[in-house]
Structure 1
Amino acid sequence: AERVSVDLDPGHAIADPMRLPLQLRAVARLLPAIAKVAVIRTWSGCEGYVRDMLPVMGRSATTPGLFHAFGFCGHGFQLGPGVGDAMAELITTGRCETPLDDFRVDRFDCAA
């Protein structure tokens, strides 16, 4: 993935089609079989980055019944299955064998 600055005024990221050939050449060096693919659509989006580069996971500090799992700093797809397991366990049983204390949403509060 290529990281570029994002203009937040329009409310969404914009894929620059002029950059696509360069990106495809870079991918083809790693995965030669992709060199002859036909691109039919592209997607762009904003990734959530948290100040300390750690995700937020667990119960909401303010809203009962609300659970958080966000801010994976570009690693959400890789971590998704494990995060899903941990969050499902927490939501369904009220507990989680995976320690989540370091990922509390209130860790940024002055009193936390």
Structure 2
Amino acid sequence: TRLPTQLRAVARLLPAIAQATVIRTWSGCEGYVRDMLPIMGRSATTPRLFHAFGFSGHGFQLGPGVGDAMAELIMTDRCETPLDDFRVDRFARAV
């Protein structure tokens, strides 16, 4: 991993961090969408496929609400929460 090298570089700028103990780390991909809003709802091209992605910058705080809305949409083919602003084809509509 590159973490030890990165920590040494940071310690040169912030010496107090040299005494810190790293007990765990996390790494992953960030999935940003052009307008910084997530994609939620039915696929525009594939029947029975639903999308819920692109939540980078919005965090896990939306998780319970997204799960509830998507479950409602998938199970009942409708959703009380308006999802049109999060449609996957919203960029195609803007062209």
TM bracket, shorter-chain basis: 0.7 to 0.9
Partners of 1:100 and 1:110 in 2: CA distance: 15
Partner residue, 1:53: 36
The structural deviation recorded for 1:76 is 3.5
1:62 alignment partner in structure 2? 45
The secondary structure found in structure 1 opposite 2:41 is strand
Q: In the TM superposition, what are the counterparts of 1:95-110 in structure 2 within 5 Å?
A: 95-109=78-92
Contact conserved, 1:15 with 1:42, CA < 8 A, in 2?
A: no
- The one-character-per-residue Cα deviations of 1:17-71 (angstroms, maximum 9, x if unpaired) are 3339x6xxxxxxxxxxxxx9760x3221111100001110000000000000001
In 1, distance between residues paired with 2:21 and 2:94?
53
Higher relative contact order (CA closer than 8 Å, sequence separation 6+): 2
For structure 1, the 5+ residue unaligned runs are 1-13, 23-35
Summarize the Cα distance change of 1:63–1:76 in structure 2 as closer, same or farther, 3 Å threshold.
Answer: farther
Number of residue equivalences: 84
Structure (1 or 2) with the larger CA radius of gyration: 2
- For 2:85 and 2:68, the matched residues in 1 are separated by 17
Q: TM-score w.r.t. structure 1 length? A: 0.64
Instruction: Quote the residue 1:3 is aligned against.
Output: none
Percent identical across equivalent pairs?
77
Inter-partner Cα distance in structure 2 for 1:111 and 1:63: 21
- Structure 2 unmatched runs, 5+: 11-19
Return the TM-score normalized by structure 2. Answer: 0.75
CA-atom RMSD, angstroms? Answer: 2.5
Counterpart CA distance in 1 for 2:94 and 2:82 is: 21
